[in-house]
Chain A
Amino acid sequence: AQSVAQPEDQVNVAEGNPLTVKCTYSVSGNPYLFWYVQYPNRGLQFLLKYITGDNLVKGSYGFEAEFNKSQTSFHLKKPSALVSDSALYFCAVRARGSYIPTFGRGTSLIVHP
């Protein structure tokens, strides 16, 4: 079985400050890991993925994520937050060979001006 935990329902950060949205996972074997963003009344948009190789993955809109195998974590980060980054963020894991990803419950990111 595979699972994802996003331990924070909400993250608050001031504009210009660095942000981190946490994600830990459980899966058999080496995982595929994904981050998506959702704006109100919209579908999920892909941000970045980890497949293999470099543990620091860079994605869209200045976001990056760090894969840590020993801690089974894949935290999303951005050096300087924008008010427009305020949205719902989902982490997802998929076992290699599976069609079905498992999503976390989502973390609401609020960036204050």
Chain B
Amino acid sequence: DGGITQSPKYLFRKEGQNVTLSCEQNLNHDAMYWYRQDPGQGLRLIYYSQIVNDFQKGDIAEGYSVSREKKESFPLTVTSSQKNPTAFYLCASSMGAPSNQPQHFGDGTRLSIL
């Protein structure tokens, strides 16, 4: 079945450590997105990518980095400069050229600080 796979489901970060969250899709979607979800705040956009080898900052990109070397993959690195990383992180994808189709979401990674 086509879909988006996020791993790991739970992740713990130590002080001064970078951690990378994986997101893989087999939907043949051009566009991919990373969101951060905190209780009562909805979804906030971290980064998005419209096409391979290209990505743009979202509303809260500071302390995060991404790469898009393959169409299927859009990993997110939470760097040590992100002082409040504890949150639920969601990856999504959608068809390319702005379309009327909805986003597809993975089941998230919950990141906590040790």
Contact = CB atoms under 8 A, between A and B. Distances in A.
Given A90-B42, A90-B43, A104-B42, A97 B102 contact: no
Nearest to B107: A43
Interface residues of A, number: 24
Main secondary structure of the interface of B (DSSP, over half): strand
B108 A43 contact: yes
A100 B107 CA distance: 20
A32 B95 CA distance: 14
Q: Which bracket fits the contact residues of B?
A: 20 to 34
Contact of A41 (B40, B48, B98, B108): B108
B45 interface: yes
Given A41-B108, A99-B31, A46 B102 contact: yes
A56 interface: no
